[in-house]
Amino acid sequence: MSRSLRPTIWECTYWADPNWPITWGLVSGAAAAAEAPEWKKVSAKRFGIKDSMIPDEAWNVLHRLRSRGYDVYLVGGCVRDLIMKKTPKDFDIITTADLRQVKDTFSGSAVIVGRRFPICHVYENNSIVEVSSFNTYARGSTSNQIYTSKSPHCSKNDYIRWKNCQGRDFTINGLMFNPYAEKIYDYFGGIEDIKKAKVRTVIPAGTSFQEDCARILRAIRIAARLGFNFPKETAYYVRTLACSVARLDKGRILMEINYMLAYGSAEASLRLLWRFGLLEHLLPFQAAYFSSTRFKRKDKGTNMLLVLFSKLDNFLAPNRPCHNTLHEALVRQPRDPLVVATFALALYLGGDMSLALDIGKSINRQHNTGFSELLEPQVWDDKHLVGEVQSLAVSMRRALTEMTDEYFVANAMAKIPQAPSSDLVFIPLQAYLKVLKLIECVQHGKKEHGYEPKRDGNIDYHDLSYGTPAEVRNVFTLVVFDTLYPSNTENQQDVSS
């Protein structure tokens, strides 16, 4: 933390405001006092937060730690989501116990992970609850400030909580919630930024992003998921320091990209990555496509790549990203919509080309005519339609291989003047092999032995989370058909099969 940010005088003042029971004012000289956000303790009831909104797994961890005399809080994004009446994807806990004490409390079902900022993973009912410690965070802090004095109204606990929140990335993540006292602690104006729909860094954005450039990717992810905007300062440094993300560990980048393309915010994430100059650093094939199509930020429904991701967002909020090999193949060689639809059906049916042809040729719905990747439909006999579908499969296989080859990734980036020199590949080998197997069953036109497709189009989210082949094929086909043949009021006929 820079010297100018370290408070020289601590003053905590009480206001008898019925809406904000106790407000703590942070003062660092007269000028800073006017700018610093107020410290607030807010009743959780004000936001309609109920005990039932916290899952049993999180409650079990909270109860066990509290029963041993430790203070416990929910912290970070889960508090933000509860305030916004969204369902948190996970519940993180912070406690006054050190990590060794946490591990001892859950003997046999907890493990300490991480190096820079270690945390404890507690396993509860096939779920993982992340537990961090105030002590660990204090050791990892960049500030060497030590609590020495306080106003009569300012408790040491407030200072400890403030100190921890000071090290977090964004104000809307710098919130703590004591579910037993039903109090939310807000030391950096996070609640106000939620009201304003802003993603703002806790410390000045330039300093924050230089300390940890992964915060740039998290800023994009959070803004996309919540539909929030950046203040001018944050937006400036997201763009200015975008190239710094290339310094991150490849695994970390992959994790962030996976998060962006999942949880129902893939389209918004791609738009923001393009807007702030990050797409060419991370996804060169997609950036090259946007450049070649002269994509405009305000385009609605005319960009096939974004529509594919938008349809995926509409269907589900998965915990796995989808690969856009199909789109990359269509960019290279546009196809008849019937060919694309029949390919999707053959994939869904495990390579049963005969049945895929019968169903595909029965489609009597108008395709989306706004995509340059789709040709005007024509009449096909079975032999030529099979040949076109298998040709598309070959093209997809080639595109997938190139998207996982350092040489081709580097070449794709070279086509974009502002892109860095890089050969990062983000599709893991295991995922590549699984997708390749799906494509090959269509390419060879032979039904996969022992495979049974789903009998209906309903999505089983549990199966999808585990990558069950039938469910993956089901979702893929739903996304493709909803992109090719969107619903409209003029033609509501659907594929009878």
Give the three-class secondary structure for 46: helix
Domain edges within the chain: 40-195, 205-282, 326-484
Q: What pLDDT does 139 receive?
A: 42
Q: What pLDDT does 332 receive?
A: 82
How does residue 407 score in pLDDT terms, banded at 50, 70 and 90? low
Does residue 38 carry a pLDDT above 70?
no
Higher pLDDT, 321 or 22: 321
Give the three-class secondary structure for 244: helix
**Which two three-digit tokens encode residue 496?**
């009878």
- Of 157, 156, 158, 163, the C-alpha closest to 137 is 163
* 15-24, 128-137, 335-344, 472-481, range with greatest mean pLDDT: 335-344
How does residue 124 score in pLDDT terms, banded at 50, 70 and 90? confident
**Which two three-digit tokens encode residue 111?**
């493990």
- Of 243, 336, 323, the C-alpha closest to 285 is 323
How does residue 317 score in pLDDT terms, banded at 50, 70 and 90? low
Q: pLDDT digits over 40-95, tens only?
A: 889 999 999 989 889 899 999 999 999 999 999 999 899 999 999 888 878 999 99
Q: pLDDT digits over 465-475, tens only?
A: 677 888 888 88
Q: pLDDT digits over 17-36, tens only?
A: 333 333 333 333 333 333 44
Please tell me the pTM assigned to this model: 0.68
Q: What pLDDT does 64 receive?
A: 93
Concatenated DSSP letters for 298-363? T--S--HHHHHHHHHHHH---SS----HHHHHHHHS-B-HHHHHHHHHHHHTTS-HHHHHHHHTT-
Higher pLDDT, 238 or 378: 238
How does residue 101 score in pLDDT terms, banded at 50, 70 and 90? very high
Residue 25 parent element (H or E): strand 22-25
Higher pLDDT, 409 or 356: 356
Q: What residues have CB less than 8 Å from 487, skipping those under 6 apart?
A: none
- Residue pair 23/14 in contact by the 8 Å Cβ criterion: yes
To the nearest whole number, what is the mean pLDDT of the chain? 78
When pLDDT is averaged across residues 119-128 and rounded to a whole number, the result is 86
When pLDDT is averaged across residues 117-136 and rounded to a whole number, the result is 87
Higher pLDDT, 267 or 11: 267
185-189, 312-316, 477-481, range with the lowest pLDDT = 312-316
Q: How many C-beta atoms surround the C-beta of residue 401 within 10 A?
A: 13
Phi-psi region of 275 (alpha: psi -120 to 50; beta: other; left: phi over 0): alpha
Does residue 241 carry a pLDDT above 90?
yes
Domain 40-195 superfamily per CATH: Beta Polymerase, domain 2 (3.30.460.10)
Does residue 359 carry a pLDDT above 80?
yes
Q: pLDDT digits over 139-174, tens only?
A: 444 443 433 333 445 678 888 888 888 889 999 999
What's the DSSP call for residue 84?
Answer: T
- What is the sign of the dihedral through the CA atoms of 164, 168, 170 and 175? negative
Residue 229 phi/psi, 5° resolution? -115, 170
State the amino acid at position 479 in one-letter form: V
Cβ burial 317-351 (10 Å sphere, 16+ → b, else e)? ebeebbbbbbbbbbbeebbbbbbbbbbbbbbbbbb
Q: What angle do CA 15, 17, 22 make, to 5 degrees?
A: 55
SS3 labels along 105-149 = HCCCCEEEECCCCCEEEEEECCEEEEEEEHHHHHHHCCCCCCCCC
Q: How many C-beta atoms surround the C-beta of residue 358 within 10 A?
A: 14
Query: What's the CATH fold of domain 205-282?
Result: Hydrophobic Seed Protein (1.10.110)
Does residue 347 carry a pLDDT above 70?
yes
- Residue pair 365/355 in contact by the 8 Å Cβ criterion: no
Strand 183-186, strand 175-178: pairing: antiparallel
Q: What pLDDT does 220 receive?
A: 94
